[in-house]
Structure formats: structure tokens, C-alpha cells
Structure 1
Amino acid sequence: MKKGFTLTTSLKYLGMALIFGLFLMATGCNKEFENTLPKGFRNDTAGIGAGKKVLYIVLDGVTGTAVKTIAPPNITQINARATYTFDGLADNKYNVITNASAWTTMLTGYDYTKHNVVSEDFAGLNLQATPTIFTRINSLLNTARTVSIASTAVFSDKLAADATVKQTVSDDAAVKAGVVAELTSGNPALVVAQFHSAETAGAANGYTASTPAYATAIKNIDGYIGEILTALKARKGYSGENWLVIIASNKGGGPSGGVQGSNIFNDASRNAYIAFYNPRFMSVKISQPDPSSYPFVGTAPRFIATTASNVTAIQKNPTLGNFGTTGDFTFMFKFRDDYGQGNFYPMFLAKRNAFNSVSSVGWGFLFGSNSAQLDWGGTPRPGFGIDIRDGRWHTVAFTIGVVNNLRTLTLYVDGLTRYSGSISGRNIDNNTPLRLGGDIGTDGNTQSNVLIRDVALFNVTMSANDVAAVMRTQIKPTTPFYSNLLGFWPGNETSGTTMIDQSGKGNNFTYSSNVTFSSFEEISPNISPDISPAAYTSVPNGVDIPLLIYNWLNIAVSPQWDLTGRLYNPTVLLPTN
């Protein structure tokens, strides 16, 4: 155990429920840094408090995932008195992450769209428009001593020019020694320490906890952090000081540059460990949102069939949806039944002439009681096997391909295989256009009310796993098999009479003139919708850190600065009597 740590009795540390329920509740026993602050010391991040200072430790290339797996002892103790995350983000954009862009973001409080740094040579950097924390602190707190100790020369040269003290040293061990010396004999308001050895090891060997060189580098840095915090606690004036300690990855590791529409949480190059520590903070762990908690949000055409009228969408290409006797295909869609009760047997999506009876030509989906079925030329007529008339979104798909030398139809509902059987030699092609929406009803048994969207046809037979994965998502250019699309109709229009084919094939549907479009927002266990951009700001980002530093140092942030980040205000334990 590092000198300067003491074992305390069982400490209860609580998490606070915040955006999307992301901040998890946790309890446990931990060692912590000895709290020598007076019991009545003002320790808030918004009010005026004497002796407020900041220690900012930058960990280059240290992924949050690796820190979570390795659980370095000093960082683990820090988490017991910190707002922290293993799911932090270097940034929430889709740019390629570099050390230069990440450093600039976390030292200016602006993302790359404002500071313009993308490449490692800092091309485009304009510190007049996007000043660093050194510049602002020194200009607003005239007597403040700001210190930068870095193991990378370009970090010092490009971003620490306005620090009161700027040192570039040979390696991470020298960074630790320089910081310890400053904390021992100096009186800084801000100390920034930049450690680079994990980035070097990760770039050469891989950024995973199972990579020995990378894991060793992280453990060594953790040891340096322990020595630095021991020196911090040993300061002569520590009992009257109020230190905010920030430990943050500049970036993660691995190939970077997310594709527009992809889930940025899956981009390892952005995955960061970020912690805001003070002995009086409660432990608050911030995690990325659970994908099952994302709401499915959008609009969809409503296909209503009553005894007086019906709403339809008719495909302009009459051959689309003919499958012949050869070839591989996958067809899928999402739907929600809002009729509210079981009935027999209104058809709601089909390529056939007779919507109100069994036909040997064509295929279609029709409701049956509280479920539904696929009619394939009269036979087979596999059922969905579940109650799907519950007012919730469901996914449906079928594939056509050769299995054991037989051309086989396989039906999937909500990602599960519901039927698989031979259709070898069956040709149910016809010239009736593919249609969404049922017939005018004759009575209560033939009426319908359904939302349909994300209709897609592929010229490939997907595996069961691929079907389950693709049908849950919202199709986009990054979706597997996107190049195999014969047509894709999201149905996300809000007006007009054209259901646009977004595959680029030009096979549009035409809505009937009485179509209406319904908005929806709901959580469905059957759909993994696109993550909202707001979710990326629900965990700490590198761009958020300067705002907290200014707040801690009681520097009023002018709206004219137009900082990009958001404020994370740690939860403070109330003093005890």
C-alpha cells in the first residue's frame, strides 16, 4: 500500500440517478485518502471557497475499458471519492481522434469543430479564438501559478506556452518527479501532468488489458499517481487547501473515426477513463446508457381500414416482391398494431390480388385473433406464435434460400425463428404490386389499424443471427448487407404521398391521398433504435473538463466564451459534527 493511504471503516458511497438513469447506485468498503480538511470547510464547486486548487492528470491512450479490467489500486481508491466513468468519451463527434486534437479539446473546452485541430501537427490551431486553461486562469487570476509538466514536447510547445512554469521532461517517471517537487515546494493554483507511456505501449502492442506492455504501463502510471497524491497530502498547507483532482484519458486506443450514424460508444479510440476526485466527494459512477433503454422515436404512416375507407401504399414496380423459383432474399419490416382487439383475417401487407381470401398466387401477412401469419400462396401459412396485437413495436422477417438442397422459407418474429419449411418448385409470382395496408372492412373482423415502417428487401439470405441483429436496428449505410438492398422504405415521411425508397433504386411506394403520419416515442424490447446524440453527452467528455476547472476556481464563465462542454458538479458529502 502506498504511503499516505489509510484504511478506514466501512465507507458507504452512493451513486446519484441522473440522465437516462445512467448514474448507477453502488455500495461497498474501500480505503480512501485521509481527509485532513476541517469538518466545517466549505467544499462546494459553485460557491466561494479559499484555497481551491486543481491537479489535472492526463493519461494518454488509456482506455476506460482497460482501467476497469485492470483495476489499478490507486485509481480504485480514487473512485471511492469521485464522480467517475469508464465510459467517458474523448469527444462525441465522428472525426478521427489524434493525440493533438484530444489534448486541445481537454485543455481549451472546445471540440475540434471550434479549435480546428485534427492532425498531430496541430495545423489550424488558433489559441486566440480558443484559449487554453493556462491562458484564461493567468489572465483572470493574476497571482495564480499554473504549471505544466509533460513528457511530450509538442504538448508543452503548442498548449502550455502561457503556463507560469512549463517543463518538458524525458519520460513519465520524470513527470511524476516534477509534479511531486512542485507539490512539495511550490504554491500552484493549477498543475497539469501529462503521461504518455501507455499511449506508446498501446500503439506498439495494442490497447487492451490483456496486452502485457500496455497493462504494465497503466500500472506504472497508477503507481506514479499514488506517489503524487501522497505528496499532495503531505503539503504543509494541505489542511487549509481544497484540491480538485482530475484524472482523464486524452483518448482511447485503436482505429478511430466513427461512421456517421454509428454508436460512438463502440469506438474504442474515444473510450476514456475520467474521474473528478476530492476527499469530500461521494462516489458517483456514470455509465453509458443501456441500449434497451433507448426510446424508438419517429413517425410512421398509419394504415387504417374501416367499413368506409382504407389507407394504402402501392409499390410502383410490379415485379418487386416476386421471388420466382431461384435466388436468395430477405424481407423485413417493423409494425405496431393499434386496432386493440383480435379479429379474423384482415391482411395488412401483401403481394397478391385477393386480399380478403386465400389465394394460390402471391403472398401476404394477415392477422388472426391476437397474432398474425404469413400466407405463402395458400400454403404454408406459418403463424407468428405470439401475441403481437399489444400496441407495441414488433419486427418481422422472412428469408428465402437453399437449405439441405431445398429452397426454404424461414419466418422470424422479434428476432426468433418461428417457422422453416420447403417451398422448392413453388412459383407464386404475379403482377400485382406489393401493397401496405388492408382492404375496406366489411365488419369488425376485417378492419385494421397498423403502423408500418423500415420495410426492406435484400437479395441475400441472411443467417438467423444476422436477421436478428439487422431487424432490430434502423437501417443505414453502415448496416451489414446494405449493398444488397433491392429497396428500403423507412416510412419516416411526415407529409406527401410518396414513400421514398432510400436504397437508391428508385422503387417508391405511393400513399393513398388520405394517409396520415403518426409520431411515436416508446421503448420496445424488440427494437434497438439509434442512440440519440444527447446520450453521448450524458457521460463526461474531454471537452467538459475546463468548465469544471473554471467553476472550481470560482472563475465566472462568460457566455461569450461559448465553451462546448457541460458542467459536471460532483456531489459533496455534508460535514459531520
Structure 2
Amino acid sequence: MIKYLYVGVFVLLLSALGFTSCKKYSDNPPYFEPYDSSLVAKDRRVLVIAIDGLQSDAFKTAATPNYTALMENGKYAWDAKSDIISKDASAWKTLMSGVTYSTHNISDSNFSTAQGSAGDHDDNGSTTQSNYPSFYYFILRSRIFNASTAFLSSWGKMVSSVANESKTKAVLNNDAAVKDSAIGILKNGNTKVVVVNFNGPAKLAVDPSSAANFSSGSAEYVASLKTVDGYIGEIMNTLKARPLYNSSEDWLVVITGTHGGVNKTYGGSSDGETLVPTLYYNKAFKKQEFTSAGSFSSIKVQSNTITASLNDPDDEYMPKTGQFSVQFKVRGSLPSYAHVFSKWNGAWASGIGGWSIFTSGSNWGLSIKSGTSGERRIQESAPNKNISDNDWHTLTFVFYDSASKRWVKRFTDGVRIPDGTNRDITGFGGGTIVSQGTPFTIAVQKDSYGGANFNIADIKVFKTALTDQEITSSLCTDYKATQFNNLIGFWPCNDGLGNIMTNKINTNKNFTLTGPFKWEITSNYPCTFTPNPPAGKTTLFLRNVDVSAQIFYWLQLPVPSTWSLEGNIWLTPFESEFIKI
């Protein structure tokens, strides 16, 4: 059970300079982009209301009137994702920093990193979070660095840990006091970004002295949800009463849960704990319900270092002497001689055996090394298609035996590449490729051949030699893990969050993601994928890690890649609703 830190009856209004913390961030240089007044049609502002313990099914059943009214001009979902775990500190760090738990590793209520994870250390030797500050930190380094910002909550430790860069911070006694403070700021202030935290529903549900629990059948819990909904109504009435609300001010309002719960507890990874309702409101938005059903995600590789690895000491994913096939989908910009997908140690000069799919100009090649008999590099281009055109392409290679020899064949989008006499790999480790247990990796780069910037998805490994007909006819088939007896690895890459890419065949062989990767939710689908949302809904996977990205987008602040945010901006396709030309 998660326990909250209770704060006494007091209110602290603290300046950003006067409220210190032991957190250590590297000294990133300020980022001041040139100001162009023509880019700012209106005075863009943001209000975020985040509610701890907002169990999605119960909140939907409660049909709270103020939230329901906002849906008429809202983009909303009942199955948005808070993060891969539902602990308070983790959820708030994700919401405020724009990176997920798998990156920031904040897990407990002291806001220290998970044991054994990377992090800085303070003067007392305690582990503190690495350089993943809140979006307030970046606002202070933007062209609106003078903008007034505020953060309101009754959890003092959280305020100092995830919002220390906010210019105004209020630590209050309870949700009612938080509501009153928010109303005061919105009524009298000129604040650009306001974040409000209500935590009453979570406190009530986990209280052992209360009969309440995280379900629609708990009258006490539902009553607490309706109380918070009443606070939302009062805050919105105050916001809409601002003199400039219907003229120059243009507000984006985000209302979301930081976690749900099951029975009387939370902190785990179940849907009941991690799925939350989320609503984005603007007076010009058209009503639209989103759902994660039918969403497509992929891993975006953004570095020269290992992005995903899988320990494979038994060499299950090495062809050795048997029949073997590998297939996956890729999209992006690929520099020459970068390892895209491989089963060796990643250095061209290494004597360790294995195989690697690498880029060759705008095409791709396959390198095979036995570790003893040299390397066979297969990279004939014609009629190899350009795979660096930012469209999805399916790459397939097959090891097979014929006429007492060992051969390889390659396909791009189901079309076989001739490859000439190089297809004979009998004397180049083709008979006994052994990698000495080296990891199965995506985007490992140990040589000086530039960086990788691509998406990868729908990875399959077969312990059989697929025929030409099987490859061509199944090019746009949505594979299921049970369809093929010889499918020994299947990573659809539809996880969407976290640092694990799940193997649907064998969860003991999941990829672990490291380095500057990101999950990308995209509407650019490979042909194997057809979104099929329920009637009346639009496929879009909303996540709390995306909140920061939407804030920067709404405030028209460019996001340099050096900020390393993991969230996606999804509001852009709806600009015709709220940008009037």
C-alpha cells in the first residue's frame, strides 16, 4: 500500500530562488531562441489538473457533471497510460519531466532513484535523480523565461522534488485549500502555467480506517471523485471569468489521473492502476474520444550506442547449422555502415562470429562472420530499393541448405535481391556460425560510421527457411504469435512505454532498451497494421509522458533534441480547430 506524506495546516508561497533542494542537474546552457511576435497569434496559457487515485472505470461510471461538460470541447480518453508503474513519485516525475520511469528511475516517496540505477549523489551519498528536471526548468531557459508559473499541492516533498523550478509554489493543507489557492491565482494573477494537484481520492481509498476502495461500487470513493469534480467546476468557472479569456488568452486545460488503483492499493503495473482518464480542453476543440485500441508504436533509435539488447548465451538467435529466417520493419534515415540489427559485438574488426544487417548507401547489406574463416559481406544494390526514404520497409534474410551447400537470400518488401555468387556462404561461417553468446542488438555502433536515426518494429525470427512465396504472400499479414510453429521470437514493438520490448513467444527473451531511444506513437503505419478502433472513437494512445510535449507545443516553444524528452506531440493534426487564419 502506498502511504502519503501529510502536511500540517500551513501555506507556503515560495519563490524559485528561495526554495532549495538537494537535487543536482548538470549545468545545461540556457536556450533562448529568437522571439518572433508573428508566431504568437494569441496569449497561450496552460492549466494542468492532476488527480491522484483517479481510477478510470470508476470515474467514467460516476459521470461527474463538470468533467462531462468539458468533454464537449475536449480531446479525451478513458484508457490513457500514466506509466508502467503506478507509484506516486514515479507518476509525478513522469508527468513533470517528460521522461518515463524506465529513464528517470524515481520510485519511492523520497524521490530517490531505484536501487542500482544510475543517478547523481548528494553530499550525504544519497542517490538523487539524474538530469531530468521539470518542464518549468526548460521554460526558464526559453524566450518566456520571465513568465509566471505556479504549482499547488498538499504534498510538500513532491513540490520540492518535481516543481522546484516553478516561480510560485504552494504547499497547502488539503484539496479544498489547493482549490482555493488555484482560484486566487486564476482570478487575480497573470500566471502562464498553473499545475494543480488533488490527492483526496487516493488518500481515502488507501486509508485502512475507511471502507472506501478504488471501484465504482464504493460510495465513499465515488463521493470523493464528485468532490474533486466540483473543485474542477469552480476552477473552470474562475478561468472562464478572466477578462481576456474570450479575447486574447487561449488556454489549454489538461485534466488527468496520475494513477488508479485496485481494491485498496496501487503501485503496481496492472491496467486498473496505470490506466487513467485524460482530457485536453480548449474552447475551440471539437469533441473527440481517443482510445489506445488499434494504436501503433515503434522504437525510434536516436544514437550511436546500443539501443536495445537481449542476452542470448545459448545463441538461440544464431543460425548455426539449421534453417533460419529474420524479418523486421524499418523506417528512417540510415547512415552507411551503421549496424541496424545484429548478433555480434558490433565492431567490424572483431574476430567474433555472428551476423549483422547494416546500411550500404541507401540500401542494406548482410555481413556474416564465422570468427575463424573471415567475413562474407553481401551488399549488391540492384534492384535493392532505397530504404532511407522515411517510409516503412520490410527486410528479410534467410539461411538455407541446398545441394550440399549453405546459402543466404535477401528480400526488400517481399522482392528478392539477386546477390549473385555471394549467396553461397558455405565457406564463410555459413555452416557453423557461432557468436559465443554475444547479445542480440538493435542499433549497436562501435565504429566511426555515423549515427542512426530510424524506427524499428514487427521483429520476427523463425527457426525455418521461409520460402519465397511465404515471404511475398505474408508481407502485409498481421502476424500472431500462434500462427507459426517455427516462430521462435516475435517482438511487435507495441509496448509504447518503458524500457522493455516484449517477446510474445518467450518473455524470458525480451529486449532491454537503453540509451537515447523513445517510443513513437505514429499514424504512419506499415502495411501489416490496420487501426481498428471501436465505433465513434479515434485511435490515439494518450500517455502522461506526452503532457510536457503538449505544453511546449501550446506555448510555441521549440524543443531541442538535447532536452531528451520522450513524449510525442499529437495536437498538431487538429490545428485547424484552434488556429484561425
TM-score, normalization by structure 2: 0.49
Q: Please report the TM-score for the alignment, with normalisation by the length of structure 1.
A: 0.49
Q: If you compute each CA radius of gyration, which structure gives the higher value, 1 or 2?
A: 1
